[in-house]
Amino acid sequence: MQHYQLFIDGGRCEGSGGQILHTENPATGDTWASFACADPRDVNRAVAAARRALEDPAWRDLTQTQRGKLLFRLAELVEAHAEELGRLETTDSGKLLAETLSQTQYVGDFYRYYAGLADKIEGSVLPIDKPDMHVFTKREPVGVVAAVVPWNAQMFLTATKLGPALAAGCTVVLKASEIAPIPMLEFASLIDQAGFPPGVVSVITGDAENCAIPLTRHPDVDRIAFTGGPETARHVVRNSAESFAVTSLELGGKSPVLVFDDADLDGAANGLIAGNFGASGQSCVAGSRALIQRTVFEELIDKITEKAARISVGDPLEATTHVGPLCTSAQIDKIKVTLNKAIEQGAEIRLGGAPLECSGNYMAPTLVACPHRDIETLKVEMFGPVMSLLAFDTEDEAIALANDTPYGLASGIFTRDVARAHRVSSRLRAGICWINTYRAISPIAPFGGFNQSGYGREAGIEAVLDYTRTKTVWINTSGEPMANPFVMR
């Protein structure tokens, strides 16, 4: 059995409390690795190292161009080790190797994007309304960042935090989920190889009480970047209150996909399958509420069912597999409870509806036809391959159904009518809207939600500015000494 250590202040170590946890392969149920867990002393050490590194000339005095070169080097290393990291993530979380490998390779572009932005973080000279003043702004690193990353898209969700933070000159304590943390603990080696000074990035993991809570409460943390569930996010916000750490939250969703009767139904079926069965449904942007115009409701269900019948569920390491296991057995339990309640409410299971009878956490791709908007599967984020289907008649009804959720992360529209696409997308309360496609990402495009799906944005140009603070500098250019001290100038 392999054992993985924490990475703090440029070196590997065990947790101070001696706590060790084990991780299971979701495809087999076998325990395959162990890892050290941090306790509050380790959190203090990682944050102290990050605070020291902020003022260490080895990091502080690097030019923005030099910081960019380090990020370019990290991008190259991630791409070079993509297969190794992808296999670790697949073994640890059950995600398809085809996805973990391609996603990790693409993550290199996120670091490359922020490497290119590092020397484009600019201030400005202000056209100030005082003739004897030269006033300019500059952007400085916000400080020590606590980046809290879940297990379901680790490399991607780390890059959207670590890339802009390092480009801005911050230092980072990266907290990996205690569920399937092995890829992140291995990724720490690439940070070291890229040449980042000790303390600039530490990678730790552990449970909430000993690791996550002390980190998000820490008085020396200046910014918290969190991805996870809304309930945990509420605790994070409370924890940040003492230090007033700037906080961004990328949370879950119950995203709607609207299919109008003029849509290309084959494309819509593929989009719904991508949004629900891609990544085995374990995606925060899963389009798990399929809202379909009544005139094509049954026809589209038939198409989805036909395509879903060809889905291969099995070993995530096999190239022919489409849907792998869920990461934890708790997800299977939650799906079963939710489906049972939906059936009691009048929902009809059109496909799947039960775990597979085999070793591992396998759930059959499932379609649930919902007779009304109050069916349980339309409300609960299950994080599994379950698609709920609900009919609508008019455009206004579709929009009302789509917005009938406390979340607001992603959305999708399938229609050939360009005017309708613009009209409907402008009324959807969601941070992302895909039209005639679904589940596409880019380092160039901001990512984030509304309402209980969180606030702040990851990726894109504006994300790097979120890791800076603006300083305004006033210079008196007059040849005369400062005048009356009791009058504001």
Q: Which residues are catalytic?
A: 250, 284
Instruction: Estimate to the nearest angstrom the gap between the alpha carbon of 224 and the chain centroid.
Output: 13
Nearest to 315 by CA among 28, 32, 24: 28
Give Cα separations from 185 to 30, 107, 166, 188, 212 (angstroms): 20, 17, 18, 5, 16
Angle at 463 between CA 462 and CA 466, to 5 degrees: 95
CA distance 118 to 139: 12
CA distance 485 to 245: 35
Nearest to 351 by CA among 389, 394, 401: 389
- Adjacent-strand bridge partners of 433: none
CA distance 149 to 174: 7
The crossing angle, in degrees rounded to 10, of helices 182-194 and 82-93 is: 160
* Contacts of residue 161, Cβ cutoff 8 Å, sequence gap at least 6: 145, 147, 149, 172, 174, 225, 227, 458
CA distance 335 to 312: 20
- Adjacent-strand bridge partners of 128: none
